[in-house]
Chains A and B, each alone.
Chain A
């Protein structure tokens, strides 16, 4: 066996290990015990302790600063060796953190503040650090990454998109090199061979989707093996692409771990010899023949269709008239019709999906981005295609599937950073066993949060939004307007156009211009309309002119399903001590209110004669309740996925 073979074999063993590692979910008394243990353990790494440790590092900084380059490198090599041996003492941590900080300052010119040191320490201790957007999360992360790479050999740094992965990997390359570590970024278009080379290195930047998919593909290739040796035979003497799941540092941890946590990553292939296109057409026709109320009921909240007895009877007779084999199995037939109804009632173009080049493309609810390689399952995607009259693609069959929750729980070490984790702290602890630390800001936030304005109808809301944009624009301030859906961004763009206001639009359709649009969004007098795409990880740099005119003004045109998403978007203003302001606009006709608190919303509308309900106690409560319900629903959904994962894990043979 060659040396390369040996390392491949080790990698394989690690992959097999990772598969076993996903800890069982604790329930009942076990959960209390586990959480209690976590609370006890995390006392040792609570914020006060971290800040004290950080100031110790500060204290030895002048000595380190005086080192010549060669001495610094020598010292780094020394602590690196100690880390690799696994003997990590507090002193060693203090020392190496001071050295890496100094290296970072020499290589990138960025001097880490004490709070950033505390943040980096929190990461090293495996916590989720909440740091206000614009407080230099990238720098904080890059202080922790070398230590983790020394200790765990491989670190995956997860970012929101490919662009950020590449950018961050490049900007940190020299720092990591100084620490004796190579770095690479995984990009969507890279072939497997190139990726394998990247993964073999100590530090890999990439999106969760890409890395999890590579891991999952390894799993498929390996099959249900339970020892490295049997895997070795299955893979024909080659190692896996991802050499195990070691340490993982997640940027935007709440989005990745919580929001995306339940999105299953699916490796699928089109079903061979499908030929079912006419069947979906027929299903659509049958669905249209049914009458709502008599034949079926729509549950918008849960996105479910309930067929009535009459509806079922109608369908049965309809099936009997069909010649295709598919309709023989009644279950499959009713399911197809139900999907067609669902596509018709609960899926709207511009919200859940878009048409791109004659194809149905899913739009991500949280990020507002296209998900071109995803499709809905069990014929729903085809039903939507039938509804839109585009070419019906073959249904895909799932080969393997992993929920991100399970994927992340398979890492030996997990830490994360985000601007908004506190809202999800409970879930982080329960699901991942990771406590959240809120790191204080270095500079006070200078953003002015204006009171939320609430309107009776969407129409008046849009009018008020336009007025508000115009007013801020007149001051010469850059304005960023956030919309919840692609549809809304297009709508607003039209309205702005009608008023003759020049603006740029950033939504899933315009993702190619993303970087350019963002680069200019901080200029004085700019109006940018964006979906949530601009919400996470986007750094809008203000021009001096814009800063003098009062900084960026962020307008949110709708309340999102989760508070965190609102906070993220608002966080675009007032970064790094810049001036800025933000305001939320909402109406009782908005999707959120009408879906999650319809009766209360109606009551609030009925009770008042005013068009604007800002400050109306009931209206405020309606929106708050709707958001809380939406959050609770998502949380329930996630808990359900987790339970199911756990059940399968425990009860199903193989993987």
Chain B
């Protein structure tokens, strides 16, 4: 238990002061998790201050006639250990005074006021510089617009309006569901360059409506909306309004209504768009615009605005729903606290809350938000780097500095200088180093599974040409195209009289040589060697010719279906060695052919063949089939083995910009063959697209990351 010192050596600074809340400050009562709080709000400067009931009571006693000490004594006698201590009172007075909520009998020092203004400006500028991902620009005061719109909408801004809205949105959704397939297909057109201007136009309208929604609802409940501006979100402009006046609303539902106002308006627009989209046909402009509206006002709103892990609408709504103000900040404080308490074992660490339920919520939210933050940072950075490498890199460094290096620096500073750690510093540093070491071991030394993705197309594994192996006249066609042949089955038979003649001659000579040999064995053993040599040479010659003759019958190299030209009509015509007579296609033994960009696939050399691969057919989500005998067969290929691998065919490989065929990649590719293992859940059909996941040998995570980063930079280094 940590002790709060009752007295402050600086008490004399406030003791005799007779302050009071400024007359125009409004105090509203709010309930958070069953406890009462008081929010002081200055509508003129739009500043807020939240107080506990005891603090509020103290502030209430400060009427400009009573001194701070008198007020404190009264509160201290009444509330005992719950009463604020002197340092807490000083802090309270300072906070209120600095938020311009408190007027003090002492004449304020101009110097101090000016300095305060300067510091605030400096903080603002610094904040902007650090968060270049969120650049904020004030434009104008929207009050006139809102004052005009709000009375018009007032009749529907109530419970009934909300119900009607919900019904309207539900109907639109109901009508959309059967058409989801078409909706998904439309996406490719929507991101086509020809639509860019339209989508931006619709985006601006939708977001404008969104902000109008916040503003109007805030106005509806009596809040002022003094500011309209633009926010550069990851370099994309997006409008905003300052509806912070709603923070002082007593009812949490009103606050939530203001927070959801933007989404309510936008989803309304999206619902109208659904009907328009369904009523028009592809190719018409309204159809296209409606699609854009569904995308921006519907999907993007739900994905971004409703997401409570970033400081957007969803966050404030969640914060009000949970009745935890400052959710994000306090969650991080909670994580810090738990770290200090349970890792560093600081007994006097202060938890940001004493309510266990709230503590749990804060912890969960803090962890989720942290993970999301990292995830968002990585994806945004990679995305921007993919588009604009240099800017992306700068952005990454900047954001990494703001989000990671600065906190780490602050942490090190805290570790080395915080007075709280004074007696535990050695242990705390030890624990931190141990954790760092553990991290290094986990990430840098312990191998972790690694994998790479690729896209492939199912092809017939064996598709072998049938060729004439010998010159000859086509004598007989055994197998007709389209028929099934087994390995070794004859397909055509050729005739070559000359060859047969030569074979006969050779056999005769062999017989002659053999008789000579027998004779020599009996008569002159000394000459036997010569005769024997001749026999064996002639035997080879005969064998060669026999094999030649054998090849006059063209046989199937493997089982499959014969495809090719109709040969029957060619009977008797001359066929030269190497002439194609057709192809044998093996429909059962299929394989997957994949192209992997060479720049990203150096691992093919590090791994031993066959590679370990898992195959996921696109058509059957959730089915995973093992791949066998995966081998790299070709390198430096620009022509893709199949059009289905290129972007235009639905694959992932970027194509050459001039390419018309859909098979010319923009960078050289490796070609990899994989045979799917037999599976009763999936029958591969040639032409089908699959996802591949190559399992690499386990490597420490740090090495993996470094590897990927290296690849990424390597590919761009020419820029």
Contact = CB atoms under 8 A, between A and B. Distances in A.
B660 interface: no
Contacts of B499: none
A654 B104 contact: yes
Nearest to A20: B111
A533 B543 CA distance: 121
A652 B6 CA distance: 19
Interface residues of B, number: 43
Interface stretch (A60-68, A119-127, A365-373, A396-404): A396-404
A653 B104 contact: yes
Given A224-B107, A654-B17, A648 B7 contact: no
Contacts of B10: 401, 644, 648, 652
A226 interface: yes
B77 A328 contact: yes
Contacts of A640: 419
A509 B22 CA distance: 56
Contacts of B77: 328-329
A345 interface: no
A651 B85 CA distance: 18
A306 interface: yes
Interface in A28-43: none
A400 B440 CA distance: 54
B90 A652 contact: yes
Contact of A329 (B11, B80, B104): B80
What size tier do the contact residues of chain A reach?
35 or more
B107 A652 contact: no
B192 to A, nearest CB: 46
Nearest to B1: A309
Interface in A222-265: 224-226, 230, 264
Given A226-B110, A330-B80, A653-B104, A398 B98 contact: no
A130 B432 CA distance: 39
Contact of B422 (A330, A633, A649): A633
B76 A653 contact: no
Interface in B1-37: 1, 3, 5-7, 9-15, 17, 19
Given A20-B111, A400-B12, A648-B13, A307 B422 contact: no
B108 interface: yes
A377 interface: yes
Contact of B6 (A224, A331, A648, A651): A331
Interface in B411-425: 417, 419, 422-423
A655 to B, nearest CB: 8
Given A24-B115, A306-B3, A331 B108 contact: no
B13 A377 contact: no
A71 interface: no
A378 B11 CA distance: 11
B197 interface: no
Contacts of B49: none
A399 B17 contact: no
B7 A378 contact: yes
Contacts of B95: 651
Nearest to B80: A330
A653 B111 CA distance: 12
B94 A652 contact: yes
Interface in B380-424: 417, 419, 422-423
Nearest to B69: A397
A653 B12 contact: no
B97 interface: yes
B97 A651 contact: yes
A651 B73 CA distance: 23
Interface of A: 20, 24, 224-226, 230, 264, 301-302, 304, 306-307, 309, 328-332, 334-335, 377-378, 397-401, 633, 636, 639-640, 644, 647-655
List the 5 closest pairs (A to B, CB-CB), nearest first: A654-B106, A651-B94, A653-B104, A224-B106, A398-B12
Interface of B: 1, 3, 5-7, 9-15, 17, 19, 73, 76-77, 80-81, 83, 85, 90, 93-95, 97-98, 102, 104, 106-112, 115-116, 119, 417, 419, 422-423
Given A302-B422, A398-B12, 13 more contacts: A230-B107, A307-B3, A331-B80, A332-B6, A335-B5, A398-B11, A401-B9, A633-B422, A648-B94, A652-B10, A652-B94, A653-B104, A654-B109
